[in-house]
């Protein structure tokens, strides 16, 4: 049985095929081309997507929650709700993010989440991004300072073992005593180490790169401002090609002019759009919580009582829209930053439309609202219009 998406603008994401067709067989893409060139077999379910955008499913490497639920809830019902919320917004591959907690609680969260991932291989939750717990309290952001851990290999190994190998990324401040040893150990085990919540200077970050660091968590946030005599994480992130950077493109965390600067310096090859969404994402304005702290949500901004931004309420379809509309980024580049780039970071076989590739696909209208989400060739979400 085939499934065909017919008549849309196909974004591979390297180029656009106007008036294109994507033919899916089982869980993979079978053929892509313009409508005239693709012969649709009999017994094919055909969906007319004329006027819409067909692109790879989005890959979100940092997401704490959404739709009123958080990955730190420690229960499978929350995981399912979050999974569904993001499928409705086009994220077909996610790393569930946990934050610092007391040791017994964090190890429980890690194990409960890893068990869920193993037991639900078809879920869009594919691994864990541990944001912490080895962070610098001077730049803790919305993290609860009392829950931060001092970096030790022993502490990391407890997290690693509780994750049963599903710990894919870890945000860490490399200037802390013991952090370089942890980065080296984690990198040796295949964990992508990401610099974040860090006061580290340029030399510290370069040393971290040599010991395995390859990524930067939510660029410009929870790091020292740019300074021309005292280079730090920002300078290293922009200058060193070894580092890929995450960008929260909600226009609050990073001003559009700075996003435009990043695009010139890092180019779309080096930027990964993320949400850093918390449970307030998709919810009404009001009071929520993050790491046992009150979080307020107003005008789509989530913040602590002192005004500190506390994650976001973003979805990746809106991140694509924002970066296109505020910086003039090409559609192909915006889609690439929301799909293929993140896929490459974690060595996932998704994020691109081509014959033989896994059929994780999103269809959006010209306002970037998600109309259909397809995972492994299965239609898992269809927008209902009233």
**pLDDT of res. 304:** 84
Top-confidence residue, 361 or 280: 361
Distances, alpha carbon 237 to alpha carbons 131, 168, 178, 228, 377, in Å: 18, 20, 22, 14, 37
Indicate whether 25 and 83 sit together in one domain.
Answer: no
∠112-117-121 over CA atoms, to 5°? 155
The pLDDT-based confidence of 40 (bands split at 50, 70, 90) is very high
**What CATH number has the domain bearing residue 359?**
2.30.40.10
Tens-place pLDDT, residues 57-110:
999 999 999 999 999 999 999 999 999 999 999 999 999 999 999 999 999 999
Q: What is the pTM of this model?
A: 0.96
Q: Are 57 and 335 in contact (CB under 8 A)?
A: no
**DSSP character at residue 269:** G
Indicate whether 257 and 277 sit together in one domain.
Answer: yes
Tens-place pLDDT, residues 340-377:
999 999 999 999 999 999 999 999 999 999 999 999 99
Which tokens hold the place of 259?
A: 């996003």
The pLDDT-based confidence of 297 (bands split at 50, 70, 90) is confident
**pLDDT of res. 248:** 97
**Is the pLDDT score of 386 beyond 60?**
no
Indicate whether 69 and 39 sit together in one domain.
Answer: no
Indicate whether 34 and 84 sit together in one domain.
Answer: no
Give the list of residues 6+ apart from residue 61 with CB closer than 8 angstroms, or none.
Answer: 94, 95, 129, 169, 246, 272, 274, 342, 345, 346
**pLDDT of res. 174:** 98
**What CATH number has the domain bearing residue 285?**
3.20.20.140
Task: Please name which of 335, 352, 330, 334 lies closest in space to residue 343, comparing C-alpha atoms.
Answer: 352
**pLDDT of res. 310:** 80
Indicate whether 247 and 263 sit together in one domain.
Answer: yes
**Is the pLDDT score of 385 beyond 80?**
no
Task: Please name which of 123, 97, 117, 42 lies closest in space to residue 360, comparing C-alpha atoms.
Answer: 123
Q: Are 369 and 317 in contact (CB under 8 A)?
A: yes
Q: Cα 343 vs. chain centroid, distance in angstroms?
A: 9
Indicate whether 205 and 277 sit together in one domain.
Answer: yes
What Rg value do the Cα atoms of the chain yield, rounded?
A: 20
Rounded-to-integer distance, Cα 238 and Cα 147, Å:
30
**Is the pLDDT score of 160 beyond 60?**
yes
Q: Are 82 and 277 in contact (CB under 8 A)?
A: no
Rounded-to-integer distance, Cα 65 and Cα 58, Å:
16
**Is the pLDDT score of 284 beyond 80?**
no
**pLDDT of res. 142:** 84
Indicate whether 244 and 373 sit together in one domain.
Answer: no
Q: Are 76 and 114 in contact (CB under 8 A)?
A: no
Indicate whether 35 and 79 sit together in one domain.
Answer: no
Tens-place pLDDT, residues 115-140:
999 999 999 999 999 999 999 999 99
**pLDDT of res. 308:** 86
Number of domains in the chain: 2
Give the list of residues 6+ apart from residue 101 with CB closer than 8 angstroms, or none.
Answer: 72, 109, 133, 147, 291
Which tokens hold the place of 184?
A: 């080296």
**pLDDT of res. 283:** 83
The pLDDT-based confidence of 305 (bands split at 50, 70, 90) is confident
Average pLDDT over residues 292-314: 84
Tell me the pLDDT of the chain averaged across its residues.
95
Domain that holds residue 30: 2-55+352-382
- Tell me the Ramachandran region of residue 268: left when phi exceeds 0, alpha when psi lies from -120 to 50, beta otherwise: alpha
Indicate whether 231 and 277 sit together in one domain.
Answer: yes
Average pLDDT over residues 184-213: 98
Indicate whether 51 and 116 sit together in one domain.
Answer: no
- pLDDT > 70 fraction of the chain, expressed in percent and rounded: 99
Indicate whether 169 and 156 sit together in one domain.
Answer: yes
Neighbours of 284 (CB within 10 A): 7
Indicate whether 128 and 262 sit together in one domain.
Answer: yes
**Is the pLDDT score of 309 beyond 80?**
yes
């Amino acid at each position: 049985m085939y499934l065909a998406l017919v008549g849309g603008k196909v974004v591979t994401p390297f180029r656009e095929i106007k008036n294109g067709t994507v033919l899916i067989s089982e869980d993979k893409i079978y053929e892509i081309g313009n409508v005239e060139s693709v012969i649709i077999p009999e017994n094919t379910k055909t969906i007319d997507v004329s006027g819409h955008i067909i692109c790879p499913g989005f890959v979100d490497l940092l997401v704490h929650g959404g739709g009123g639920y958080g990955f730190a809830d420690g229960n499978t019902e929350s995981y399912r709700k979050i999974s569904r919320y993001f499928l409705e917004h086009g994220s077909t591959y996610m790393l569930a993010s946990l934050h610092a907690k007391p040791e017994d609680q964090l190890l429980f969260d890690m194990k409960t989440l890893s068990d869920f991932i193993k037991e639900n291989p078809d879920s869009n939750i594919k691994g864990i991004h541990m944001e912490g717990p080895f962070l610098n309290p001077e730049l803790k952001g919305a993290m609860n300072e009392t829950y931060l851990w001092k970096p030790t290999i022993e502490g990391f190994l407890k997290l690693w073992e509780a994750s049963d190998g599903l710990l894919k990324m870890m945000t860490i401040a490399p200037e802390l005593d013991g952090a370089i040893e942890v980065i080296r150990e984690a990198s040796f085990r295949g964990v992508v180490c990401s610099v974040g919540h860090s006061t580290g200077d340029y030399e510290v970050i370069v040393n971290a790169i040599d010991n395995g660091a390859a990524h930067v968590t939510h660029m410009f946030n929870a790091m020292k401002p740019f300074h021309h005599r005292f280079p730090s994480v920002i300078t290293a992130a922009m200058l060193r090609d070894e580092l890929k950077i995450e960008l929260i493109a909600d226009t609050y965390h990073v001003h559009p002019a700075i996003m435009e600067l990043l695009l010139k310096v890092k180019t779309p090859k080096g930027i990964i759009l993320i949400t850093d969404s918390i449970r307030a994402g998709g919810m009404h304005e009001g009071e929520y919580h993050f790491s046992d702290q009150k979080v307020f949500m107003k005008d789509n901004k989530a913040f602590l009582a002192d005004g500190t931004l506390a994650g976001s309420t973003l979805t990746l379809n809106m991140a694509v829209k924002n970066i296109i509309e505020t910086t003039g980024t090409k559609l192909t580049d915006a889609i690439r930053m929301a799909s293929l780039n993140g896929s490459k970071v974690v060595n996932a076989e998704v994020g691109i439309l081509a014959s033989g590739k896994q059929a994780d696909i999103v269809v959006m209208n010209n306002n970037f609202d998600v109309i259909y989400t397809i995972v492994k060739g299965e239609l898992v979400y269809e927008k209902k219009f009233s």
